[in-house]
Amino acid sequence: MAKQIITDALGEREVREIFPAARIPDAALTQPDVSAKNDGFLGLGEAITGSSCYVLSKMEKSAREALLKSIYGKEGLNLSVARISIGASDYSAELYSYDDGEEDVSLERFSVERDRAYVLPILKEILKIKPDLFVFASPWSPPGWMKTGGSMCGGYMRDKYVDVYADYFVKFIKAYAEEGVRVSAVTPQNECETQQSGRMPACEWHPETEAKFILSLRKKLDENGLKVQIWAHDHNFSGTDRVLWYLDNVDGLASALSGVAFHYYDGNIEQTRQVRKKYPALKLHFTEGGPRLHDNYATDHVKWAKMLTMAIECGYSSMTGWNLALDECGKPTIGPFDCAGFVTVSGGEVSVSGQYKAFSHVSPYLRKDSAIYPLVCRDWQEDRMAYYPRRSEAPRGFVIKSPSAAPVVVLVNANDSRAQTQVELDGKLWYADLPAKSVSTLEF
């Protein structure tokens, strides 16, 4: 039986049987774009922040194990990517680097001891469930002594410490490997174009300084036999010009990198197509964006499904959300923002976000041999004047194909009204009625 799994406007789930159908002329016709095949997709994931680890550590052990299995297990969401912080982020319970104090260019004080309290134990529990989890790491700030101002909160990275900071990364990767956590990729700096007004761990980097650091880090990783990818930028879509500038002007930089990481807080994802077009060997990764505490927490599934669809259309290779778990107040945090967790843990009870619901339509179906094809929509009549001022947009989505499983279609209807839709797949037309503001998965 072919079926349609729906998350409706209220965030509720429904399952319907679907059938082949002759062409309905006024229905939107969607077809896979075989010219835009994405067969290197790492998967979906969440940031396992210090705050998330703290919240999870306070759960009763059996409840925590059940929750983590439901997120990372093959029978659950099957998330396959994770972001961790190198030292504290704004979503940590405490502020620290791995070498706090006065200048220490020999890094004699370096230690990940603070992470052994609850960060590393939670990571190890997750890796026990998902041993092949792809882990990438990002710092929110170097140690304060490497920066102008001397604090982890605000300031600029100083060129004189670029090589020392590369050594710091190598020490971190090796220390985590000794703990059983393999780091497969790093970014030089979370949000390299902002100091966040000194309200949280943050550091601004001149693009030339970032480029120097990447070249130094690549050299030191290679010298130490560490097969770790470097993803540049790790900031907004609007920074595409910055990325293109240093790729175009710094010798050897493109070959030192494996990818470029972007956040969605400013700019438009279509801007980043320029990077993929000019440097096709570099993968694009969506590395941050998550639920907000007071903004349709449980019902913003369409937003995240649409964002994922747009990322796939632009050739992205992964999508990672922000904050695996927080409490009902969006805590703990040492920063100024009102973020919420992928899941919320409150007094032992767990509730899920709209992002969780969106990912549940996709991640369980992804396999290592999956290829993803964006859908092209035809015969959609936009902006009918009879419905003015209400506007409408064509359904969007993609097809997941794998030699080891039946194909799956994901469809997003962001409109306030239902959308009659047909999907052409392997020479057959299928009819699916998409409710208003819904996400659907078609299983065959």
Buried b (16+ CB within 10 A) or exposed e, 375-390: bbbeebeeeeeeeeee
pLDDT of residue 385: 67
Q: CA 244, CA 261: separation in Å to the nearest integer?
A: 13
> 171: part of which helix (H) or strand (E)?
helix 162-178
For residue 332, cis peptide bond before it (omega within 30 degrees of 0): yes
How confident is the model over 286-291, as a mean pLDDT? 97
Q: Round to the nearest angstrom and report the end-to-end CA distance of the chain.
A: 7
pLDDT of 123 higher than 70: yes
Q: Where exactly are the structural domains of the chain?
A: 3-38+370-443, 43-365
Return the amino acid letter for 416. D
pLDDT of residue 53: 98
Q: CA 37, CA 40: separation in Å to the nearest integer?
A: 9
Return the amino acid letter for 143. P
Non-local CB neighbours of 24 within 8 Å, separated by 6+ positions: 420, 422, 431
CATH number attached to the domain at 43-365: 3.20.20.80
CATH 2.60.40.1180 for domain 3-38+370-443:
yes
How confident is the model over 235-259, as a mean pLDDT? 98
Non-local CB neighbours of 137 within 8 Å, separated by 6+ positions: 83, 84, 85, 86, 172, 173, 176, 183, 185, 186, 187
DSSP β-ladder status, 229-236 and 259-263:
parallel
Percent of the chain with pLDDT over 70: 98
Chain segment 329-349, per-residue pLDDT in tens? 999 999 999 999 999 999 889
| Residue 173: both structure tokens together | 């990767």
Helix extents (H) in 188-252: 207-223, 240-249
> Cβ-count burial of 230 within 10 angstroms (0-12 exposed, 13-18 middle, 19+ buried)?
buried
Non-local CB neighbours of 38 within 8 Å, separated by 6+ positions: 312, 315, 316, 317, 371, 372, 373, 374
Chain segment 84-107, per-residue pLDDT in tens? 999 999 999 999 999 999 999 999
Q: What is the mean pLDDT of the chain?
A: 96
pLDDT of 231 higher than 80: yes
Non-local CB neighbours of 295 within 8 Å, separated by 6+ positions: none
Cα dihedral 425, 431, 433, 438 in deg (nearest 10): -10
DSSP β-ladder status, 283-288 and 316-321:
parallel
Non-local CB neighbours of 188 within 8 Å, separated by 6+ positions: 139, 205, 210, 213, 214, 217, 230, 232, 234
Q: CA 52, CA 62: separation in Å to the nearest integer?
A: 17
Give yes or no for a contact between 20 and 427, defined as CB atoms under 8 angstroms apart. no
| Residue 180: both structure tokens together | 């059983």
pTM as predicted: 0.97
Give yes or no for a contact between 19 and 52, defined as CB atoms under 8 angstroms apart. no
pLDDT of residue 436: 96
pLDDT of residue 348: 84
Q: CA 356, CA 439: separation in Å to the nearest integer?
A: 12
pLDDT of residue 380: 79
Chain segment 376-419, per-residue pLDDT in tens? 998 777 666 676 777 789 999 999 999 989 999 999 999 999 99
pLDDT of residue 87: 98
